[in-house]
């Protein structure tokens, strides 16, 4: 930190600095600084990347940093040990900004970023204030660029290109500005963008964020986005999607592209997708997810509630725990029954779930048509229904959102008028689905 009245630090000098808790115990080592560019303001620091035991890098929010001084950083001592991953709109000062070529806005040429100063304002926010640069001057035969010019320090506002090209900056800031939107709303915005802009924005979204958004896009748009991504990136996004959603997308892709992405996916994720692709889209097997909540009958109620609370699950999947014999990964051993979330809340925490199974073991085979699945769910007031094979093994579960996606018109996401009410969907869509199934059987 500088000796001036205004607090200041330089990330290149800060890297390797020890992080202490309030009692003076060592908790981590600083490795980088995370900043978020802003449209009309200097980029703001949101935290530090610090290294804890076993060289694991985690995120330390700037709100948990109480002091930064030469040779030490003091924190509140509270660290989330989840491995650090850059979020939408974030940049690493050391990893992304140092050594970047920038253009001086006074027209005097280009320079390379050597270090960056962050100042603390009266609101206690740390923002980029000045850049320490080395001029890139021309010299040698044929005017060859030589990077060893004079060093200068200039305000951040006096350079262009610190955050990439104009197009990169624009996509980066666009993604950052949409960070708080839910996936459905962001999906609507992406539909309004031109093709090039869609790919740029998709490239700025984190894998899990993009996975959620793809599930909200019409078929033609999501095929365009997936095929516009680098193959390895597209496979990473499919890996973090629910298997049923990933299977829907893979089934829409050209055969050669689909095969390539399946080969690049994690083997266990690809296997789930291949299993789902074997079923017709409008059957229970084609709609189900292969990752419902599954426990053994001796599992305590408290453990089930803990699973529901910590897993990143859709509400419909979190509503039901499936009790099965081993193995507990689909296809499981024999399905013994299900327990609803509300029932778990009424029971004592140490009681085994095998003692409180739902007496009505409602399930459907993977070949059950959409109309049959819908009737069963409506009859028993279910938000999800198990899918079992002929031996009673659990293959997956169909949730109410899967059913609605298949009952609504293919272009419902592109329609401007309000979607019909649930009652109207039940009457018209179920009738059409039933007629289609009856015609097939006839």
Q: What are the structural domains of the chain?
A: 8-89 (2.30.30.240), 95-164 (2.30.30), 181-278 (1.25.60.10), 293-405 (3.10.580.10)
Task: With cut-offs at 50, 70 and 90, classify the pLDDT of residue 372.
Answer: very high
State residue 412's pLDDT score: 54
| Model confidence pLDDT, tens digit, residues 265-285 | 999 899 999 999 999 989 999
Q: Nearest 5 degrees, angle CA 66-CA 76-CA 48?
A: 70
- Reported confidence tier of residue 139, pLDDT bands at 50, 70, 90: very low
Residue 52, classified by CB atoms within 10 Å of its CB into exposed (0-12), middle (13-18) or buried (19+), is middle
Q: Tens digits of per-residue pLDDT, 168-195? A: 555 665 666 676 678 888 888 888 777 8
Sheet holding 320-324, edge to edge: 293-295, 320-324, 335-340
d(CA 38, CA 208): 23
Residues β-bridged to residue 369: 283
Strand blocks (E) in 359-431 = 384-388, 394-399
Strands 159-160 and 44-52: unpaired
Q: Between 414 and 351, whose confidence is greater?
A: 351
pLDDT band at 433 (very low <50, low <70, confident <90, very high): very low
| Token pair for 122 | 């009266």
In the block, tokens 């009673």 appear at 392
Find tokens 């293959």 and name the residue: 395
Q: At 249, is the pLDDT very low, low, confident or very high (cuts 50, 70, 90)?
A: very high
Percent of all residues in the chain with a pLDDT value above 70, rounded to a whole number: 83
* Residues contacting 437, CB < 8 A, separation 6+: 369, 370, 371, 372
Q: What's the pLDDT band for 167 if we cut at 50, 70, 90?
A: low
297 sits in the region (left: phi over 0; alpha: psi -120 to 50; else beta) called alpha
How far apart, in whole angstroms, are the C-alpha atoms of residue 297 and residue 310? 20
pLDDT at 2: 43
**What is the distance between the alpha carbons of residues 48 and 32, in angstroms, rounded to a whole number?**
6
Task: Give the CA angle between residues 18, 116, 137 to the nearest 5°.
Answer: 135
User: How far apart are the C-alpha atoms of 414 and 258, rounded to whole Å?
Assistant: 25
- Give me 331's structure tokens: 């296809």
């Amino acid at each position: 930190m500088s000796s001036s009245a205004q607090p200041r630090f330089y990330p290149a000098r800060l890297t390797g600095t020890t992080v202490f808790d309030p009692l003076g115990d060592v908790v981590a080592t600083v490795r980088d600084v995370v900043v978020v560019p802003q449209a009309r303001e200097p980029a703001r620091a949101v935290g530090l990347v610090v290294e804890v035991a076993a060289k694991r890098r985690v995120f330390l929010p700037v709100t948990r940093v109480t002091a930064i001084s030469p040779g030490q950083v003091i924190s509140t001592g509270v660290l989330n040990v989840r491995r650090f991953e850059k979020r939408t709109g974030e940049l690493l000062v050391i990893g992304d900004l140092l050594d970047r070529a920038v253009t001086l806005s006074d027209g005097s040429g280009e320079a390379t970023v050597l270090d960056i100063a962050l100042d603390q304002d009266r609101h206690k926010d740390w923002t980029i204030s000045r850049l320490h640069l080395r001029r890139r001057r021309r010299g040698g035969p044929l005017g060859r660029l030589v990077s060893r010019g004079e060093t200068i320090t200039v305000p951040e506002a006096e350079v262009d290109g610190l955050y990439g090209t104009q197009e990169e900056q624009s996509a980066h800031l666009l993604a950052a500005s949409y960070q708080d939107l839910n996936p459905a709303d962001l999906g609507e915005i992406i539909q309004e963008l031109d093709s090039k802009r869609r790919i740029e924005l998709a490239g700025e979204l984190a894998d899990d964020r993009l996975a959620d958004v793809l599930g909200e896009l019409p078929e033609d748009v999501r095929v365009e986005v997936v095929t516009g991504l680098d193959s390895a990136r597209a496979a990473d996004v499919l890996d973090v999607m629910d298997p049923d959603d990933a299977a829907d997308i893979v089934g829409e892709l050209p055969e050669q592209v689909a095969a390539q992405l399946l080969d690049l996916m994690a083997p266990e994720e690809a296997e789930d997708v291949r299993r789902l692709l074997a079923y017709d889209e409008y059957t229970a097997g084609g709609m189900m997810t292969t990752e419902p909540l599954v426990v053994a009958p001796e599992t305590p109620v408290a453990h089930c509630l803990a699973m529901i609370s910590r897993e990143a699950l859709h509400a419909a999947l979190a509503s039901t725990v499936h009790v099965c014999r081993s193995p507990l990964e689909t296809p499981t051993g024999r399905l013994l029954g299900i327990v609803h979330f509300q029932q778990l809340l009424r029971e004592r925490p140490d009681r085994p779930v095998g003692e409180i199974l739902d007496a009505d073991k409602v399930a459907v085979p993977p070949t059950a048509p959409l109309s049959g699945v819908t009737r069963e769910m409506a009859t028993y007031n279910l938000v999800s229904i198990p899918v079992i094979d002929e031996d009673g093994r659990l293959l997956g579960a169909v949730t109410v959102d899967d059913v609605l996606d298949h009952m609504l018109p293919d272009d419902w996401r592109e329609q401007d008028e309000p979607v019909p009410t649930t009652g109207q969907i039940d009457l018209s869509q179920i009738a059409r689905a039933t007629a289609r199934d009856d015609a097939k059987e006839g």
